[in-house]
């Protein structure tokens, strides 16, 4: 898989290699899991964190720490109310405060920079005006701009100051190294949780063929797995292409547009990080084509070629609010659905979940409640998104060879079972099941990363069938007894 600019120098912790008994198990070692661990570090609990891979959502993000998030306040106002949108704004402001506090008090080296954030548009009329009205109504300071600090076409823009950016991998790895010194904390890498069994007083989680026995689970792994819940109907996966290339600029900045074709940019040291081609993974099958489009755009706008190019997946909730809290009738907490704003939302949701574990008050319990009651506008959104996913699932059942596949990729059916075959440069055949273990969608070959990707909820597998990204937790290798 192609790695992001953040994963230059990876550090790994030990693997789970024996059975473990713990009070709390955190599944996922990205920014959500690391922040929950931080907020619980002084608790009386024994805590274990397991992480599968560093190639996670945190390390594929653009890592902006801002409350100016495209037209999110307008969108939340339309589904719920302006008051709810303002509550969300307050949560983001608090998240920024908390994150900066952690970085400063723990002296975490993560290339933190204070910058201005911009939202901009090329259109004369769109949600930028509504976003401006929202900021005005609530006396949130901003400035209107006609130009951006980069030569990119812009009709009008909004600037806010006192926002931040950092290197997300340096943040999580340095924080985890500090936390791993606590007596009550154990951190593991390359440890994939494959299933969860409910026991009388807690759970057994199967990981690397070992058992982890725990009282409660904190699911901080992007797309939750092994939970019977309505996630597939209330969320969808957005895929974007990101690249980084050398670039000279005067002052660092962070910006994103509001137009149909999303352009998101930020500076990092002597590089520009550029994200484009965001799309619902249900809608675009030919990933190589999307990468090419992104490369052409990079060339057109900046006359540059990506030194690093990678794919990012974000979970989008249909009501634009994250999901964080306790799953009803269980001892499983979740935090996910950050709608591309993972640095702030992971922090505020981690604080919420840790407060719930410690039985403390938290003002955002209702706002992010995973069991929150719905309203008609949200139901309509859920319905439309479910139709899109459902139709994908049905049309994939026909399991035809994709016309964009190169000659070295095939999908075959043998005795009614679909297989995916990839033939590598040495002419070696890699054959796997073509059915996603999560909810049985057929997989699509990603020629850019050389992976089998699920178009329904974003699970990914390497060419030999090992799962590298959930919600699927089982691999698609061909076992002898089934072959």
Shortest approach of ligand FES to residue 98 CB, angstroms? 32
Residue 7: DSSP 8-state? G
Shortest approach of ligand FES to residue 454 CB, angstroms? 3
CB-wise, 350 or 456, nearer to ligand FES?
456
Q: Give kind and range of the element (H or E) at residue 380.
A: helix 376-396
Please list the residues that pair with 188 across neighbouring strands: 50
CB-wise, 202 or 470, nearer to ligand FES?
470
CB-wise, 334 or 436, nearer to ligand FES?
436
Mention every residue, 6+ apart, whose C-beta is less than 8 A from residue 222.
28, 30, 56, 57, 313, 315, 336, 469, 470
CB-wise, 113 or 462, nearer to ligand FES?
462
CB-wise, 351 or 392, nearer to ligand FES?
392
Shortest approach of ligand FES to residue 453 CB, angstroms? 9
What long-range pairs does 407-411 form, CB within 8 A, spacing at least 24?
Answer: 409/445, 409/447, 411/442
Mention every residue, 6+ apart, whose C-beta is less than 8 A from residue 320.
72, 75, 76, 79, 339
Q: How many CA atoms does the CB half-sphere of 335 hold within 13 Å?
A: 32
Shortest approach of ligand FES to residue 55 CB, angstroms? 17
Shortest approach of ligand FES to residue 280 CB, angstroms? 14
CB-wise, 232 or 342, nearer to ligand FES?
232
Q: How far apart are CA 34 and CA 218, in angstroms?
A: 11
Closest by Cα among 440, 225, 443, 187 to 315: 225
CB-wise, 168 or 471, nearer to ligand FES?
471
Shortest approach of ligand FES to residue 315 CB, angstroms? 12
According to DSSP H, which parts of 160-286 are helical?
168-179, 231-234
Q: How far apart are CA 75 and CA 448, in angstroms?
A: 33
User: Would you give the distance in Å from CA 385 to the centre of its chain?
Assistant: 18
Shortest approach of ligand FES to residue 53 CB, angstroms? 16
CB-wise, 313 or 431, nearer to ligand FES?
313
**DSSP-based three-state secondary structure for 203:** strand
Shortest approach of ligand FES to residue 440 CB, angstroms? 6
Give the interface with ligand FES as residue ranges (CB under 6 A).
Answer: 436, 438-439, 441, 454, 456-459, 471-472
Q: How far apart are CA 225 and CA 34, in angstroms?
A: 19
């Amino acid at each position: 898989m192609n790695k992001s600019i953040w994963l230059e120098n990876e550090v790994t912790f030990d693997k789970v290699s024996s059975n473990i008994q713990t009070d709390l198990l955190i599944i996922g070692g990205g920014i959500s899991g690391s922040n929950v661990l931080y907020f619980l570090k002084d608790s009386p609990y024994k805590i274990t964190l397991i992480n599968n891979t560093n190639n996670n959502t945190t390390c594929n993000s653009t890592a902006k720490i801002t409350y100016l998030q495209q037209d999110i306040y307008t969108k939340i106002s339309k589904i719920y109310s302006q008051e709810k949108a303002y509550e969300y704004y307050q949560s983001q402001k608090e998240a920024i405060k908390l994150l900066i506090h952690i970085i400063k008090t723990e002296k975490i080296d993560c290339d933190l920079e204070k910058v201005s954030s911009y939202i901009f548009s090329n259109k004369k009329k769109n949600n930028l005006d509504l976003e401006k009205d929202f900021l005005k109504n609530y006396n949130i300071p901003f400035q209107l701009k006609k130009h951006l600090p980069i030569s990119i076409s812009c009709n009008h823009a909004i600037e806010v100051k006192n926002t931040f950016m950092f290197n997300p991998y340096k943040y999580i790895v340095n924080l985890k190294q500090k936390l791993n010194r606590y007596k009550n904390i154990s951190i593991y890498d390359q440890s994939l949780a494959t299933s969860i069994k409910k026991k009388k007083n807690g759970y057994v989680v199967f990981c690397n063929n070992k058992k982890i026995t725990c009282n409660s689970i904190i699911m901080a792994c992007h797309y939750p797995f092994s939970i019977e819940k309505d996630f597939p109907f209330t969320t969808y996966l957005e895929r974007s292409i990101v690249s980084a290339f050398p670039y000279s600029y005067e002052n660092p900045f962070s910006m994103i547009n509001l137009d149909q074709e999303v352009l998101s940019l930020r500076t990092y040291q002597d590089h520009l990080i550029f994200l484009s081609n965001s799309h619902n993974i249900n809608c675009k099958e030919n990933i190589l084509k999307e990468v090419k489009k992104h490369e052409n755009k990079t060339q057109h706008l900046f006359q540059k070629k990506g030194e690093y190019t990678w794919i990012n997946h974000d979970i989008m909730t249909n009501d634009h609010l994250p999901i964080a809290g306790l799953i009803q009738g269980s001892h499983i907490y979740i935090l996910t659905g950050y709608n591309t704003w993972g640095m702030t939302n992971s922090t505020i949701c981690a604080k919420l979940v840790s407060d719930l574990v410690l039985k403390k008050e938290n003002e955002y319990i209702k706002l992010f409640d995973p069991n929150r009651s719905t309203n008609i506008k949200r139901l309509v959104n859920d319905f439309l998104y479910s139709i899109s996913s459902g139709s994908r699932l049905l049309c994939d059942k026909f399991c035809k060879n994709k016309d964009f596949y190169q000659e070295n990729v095939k999908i075959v059916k043998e005795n009614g079972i679909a297989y995916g075959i990839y033939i590598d440069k040495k002419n070696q055949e890699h054959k796997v099941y073509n059915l996603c273990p999560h909810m049985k969608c057929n997989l699509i070959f990603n020629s850019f990363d050389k992976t089998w990707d699920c178009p329904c909820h974003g699970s990914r597998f390497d060419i030999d069938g090992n799962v590298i990204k959930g919600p699927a937790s089982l691999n698609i290798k061909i076992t002898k007894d089934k072959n």
